[in-house]
Amino acid sequence: MTAQETARAAATQTTVRTAPTRRSPLRAGHFFILPYVLFLLAFGVGPGIYAFLISFSKTVGGRPQLFQAGLSNYATAFSDFRFGSAIEHMIQFLLISVPVGIVGVVLLALLLHQREGRFSAIMRTIYFVPGAVAGPALVLIAIFMFDPNVSPFGGLLHGVFGFDQVRDLVRERNFPLLFTIITFFAGAGGWIAIFYGALNGISREIIEAAIIDGCDNLQLAVRIKVPLIRPYIAYMLILTFAGNVQLFAEPQLIGRAPGSTLSPYWSPNQLGYAFAFELGNFGAAAALSMLLLVIGVVGAFIIIRVTNLFRTEVSGE
């Protein structure tokens, strides 16, 4: 067979193409997040939907009558004489607790990362210990720490601030600061561990290049480290804001301290508790819970948009 005939035969041959193999839409990662999704649906989305339904319902004979109340539950909750002060207290607490929490955790994480070694490991453990204690138990410990007569800081409380009894400290003007101290130490240890891990994830080459360019420790922290852990800071900001909106255990227990003047309806969550279990008005309590949910979701949305939390870096752009 000549070369021309061979070329003609090859051109007339039918090319056989194998069909692409179909891949399953499921990946290993889906099975890792499956438990979280199930718990989220069972204890997050499900109760949220149920609260939404109850907020438009009225109770007759101990049973909720869905969509029979219209907006009356919202009107009852929002027109209550305690509602305005509860919202005001929540705002005061957020204005103090959120900045203090973010700045304090980032600062401590940066300091520990600057001093790597055994000292850093010991301090991370010390910061983590308060967070290992359950919320109500931590509040009881805080009451003990705030009492000048039994607190290990009694000399400081008495000599510097002039507090002779716990009632001198547990007063209206001090409540936002006291709750900030409690919530900070309750959650700081876990966030410090997260930020410390994020800081360790920064390429050593970047740190060395910045040092060669003349960055001191402060410039290295402000211009290099903090921008590179910005997504973690935004994530903490979202969870801290949403968690502090739902303040309940701290004022509920501090209000039981000897000489405390704390109102049992200090926070919106406490007011919702009173609606549900003192007045039996679960519809109004659900309306308040939906308000707190909306505040948390809107706050998270604003933080995500402002910080570009989910922005991805595209090469060439």
Backbone angles phi, psi at 80, to 5 degrees: -65, 140
| Cβ neighbours around 104 below 10 Å, total | 16
Using DSSP's 3-state secondary structure scheme, residue 175 falls into helix
Predicted pLDDT at 252: 87
Residue 34 lies in a domain: no
Q: In whole angstroms, what is the distance from residue 78 CA to residue 86 CA?
A: 11
Strand-pair partners of 70? none
N- to C-terminal Cα separation, the chain: 57
Q: In whole angstroms, what is the distance from residue 76 CA to residue 283 CA?
A: 9
**What DSSP string runs through 114-160?**
HT-SHHHHHHHHHHHTGGGS-HHHHHHHHHHHH-TTT-TTHHHHHHT
Residue 148 lies in a domain: yes
Residue 6 lies in a domain: no
Using DSSP's 3-state secondary structure scheme, residue 267 falls into coil
Range of the domain at 120: 71-307
Q: Are 223 and 240 in contact (CB under 8 A)?
A: no
| Cβ neighbours around 241 below 10 Å, total | 20
pLDDT tens, residue order, the chain (317 aa): 554 555 455 455 544 455 555 666 667 778 888 899 999 999 989 999 999 999 998 877 767 778 888 899 999 999 999 999 999 999 999 999 999 999 999 999 998 888 877 888 888 888 887 777 666 777 777 778 887 888 888 777 777 777 877 777 777 888 898 899 888 988 888 898 899 889 988 888 988 898 888 888 888 988 999 999 999 999 999 999 999 999 998 888 888 776 778 888 999 999 999 999 988 889 999 999 999 999 999 999 998 888 887 775 544 44
CATH code (residue 295) = 1.10.3720.10
The torsion of the CA quartet 291, 292, 296, 299, rounded to 10 degrees, works out to: 60
Q: How many domains does the chain have?
A: 1
Q: In whole angstroms, what is the distance from residue 234 CA to residue 98 CA?
A: 12
Residue 228 lies in a domain: yes
* Helices 175-200 + 135-146 axis angle, to 10: 120
**What DSSP string runs through 79-106?**
HSTTHHHHHHHHHHHHHHHHHHHHHHHH
| Cβ neighbours around 195 below 10 Å, total | 23
Residue 32 lies in a domain: no
Residue 53 lies in a domain: no
Residue 101 lies in a domain: yes
| Cβ neighbours around 71 below 10 Å, total | 11
Residue 189 lies in a domain: yes
